Amino acid sequence: MLSIERNLRSLGTVATPSKRPRSLAFYGKGGVGKSTVVSNLTATLAARGRRILQVGCDPKRDSSRNLIARFPPTTLMDLLGAGKSNLQPSDIVMDGGANVECIEVGGPKPGVGCAGRGLGRLFEELETMEIFDRGYDYVFYDVLGDVVCGGFAVPMRDGYAEEVYVVTSGEFMSLYAANNIARGIANYADQGDIRMGGLIANCKDLAFDKDLIERFADRIGTHVVAWLQWDKVVYEAERRRMPVVRYQPDHPFVATWHAVADALEQQARPHVPKPMDDVQLDVFLDELFGYGDAGRRG
């Protein structure tokens, strides 16, 4: 594991390789707009000259949809399922536009097998190929939904992602998932270098959600890194399979993506969160949404 390797380097027992890229994992409830956030952030940073590898960790293989020239992509699990061995970077690394390369893990057909297993195999292949030594500034892991499976926790559990950012809205289930993800980070923090970077708020109604998300962030010992409110141009760009900065580079909403990029580049404050247990979370969300005992069904 990378965390063990780092400890060995500090003791002088192994050679120090070339500088590895800054590695960030993005988690969040399914449907919260995680892949939209990641692909737009990737394209925005690439426009600044940063080199980025975006790794889609969802069996739907749609993380790179707005970046690569052709869809559907070739995935690692497709190749392994076809019996291909001795994989080379050219087999799985796809051109995502200037300064961007993409990998999609893929997974089994719906209802068949365990998608989380593919992530463990992915990192074996990436290490063998020395992917992390290709001069990237960032590696972004776009990870499926909530942490309900050890397979999808691999980026944080095995030290490949040093910072976890949770994309959330102010909706009940989105905050519920964010707390679970924070619990996963706290569980693995003692074993390695994994830390929480903070929340990225992706809202339909920022005026309504802002107070809810800020109170939630304070309760679990984290902070909001960036605020996003849905804009029609994002929808228009996605219909054309493009990030906003490529679709309309002069659109005012591009400045919003640059603000998110600034927050990640300049204001990183990795920390160990203090998530709530199930009982605490239930009480807190009841209070947050103004339900109380009178609002419960019974």
Answer yes or no: 293 catalytic. no
Beta bridge partners of 52: 100, 138
SS3 letters across 155-204: HHHCCCCCEEEEEECCCHHHHHHHHHHHHHHHHHHCCCCCEEEEEEEEEC
* From 29, 58, 142, 209, active-site residue: 29
- Contact indicator for 27, 34 with CB cutoff of 8 Å: yes
Answer yes or no: 60 catalytic. yes
Those residues whose C-beta lies under 8 Å from the C-beta of residue 221, and which sit 6 or more positions away, are: 271, 272, 273, 274
* From 58, 146, 158, 209, active-site residue: 146
Answer yes or no: 146 catalytic. yes
Residue type, 34: K
Answer yes or no: 218 catalytic. no
For 221-256, the DSSP string reads T--EEEEEE--HHHHHHHHTT--HHHH-TTSTTHHH
Those residues whose C-beta lies under 8 Å from the C-beta of residue 50, and which sit 6 or more positions away, are: 99, 137, 138
Those residues whose C-beta lies under 8 Å from the C-beta of residue 230, and which sit 6 or more positions away, are: 33, 202, 203, 204
Q: Which residues are catalytic?
A: 29, 34, 60, 146
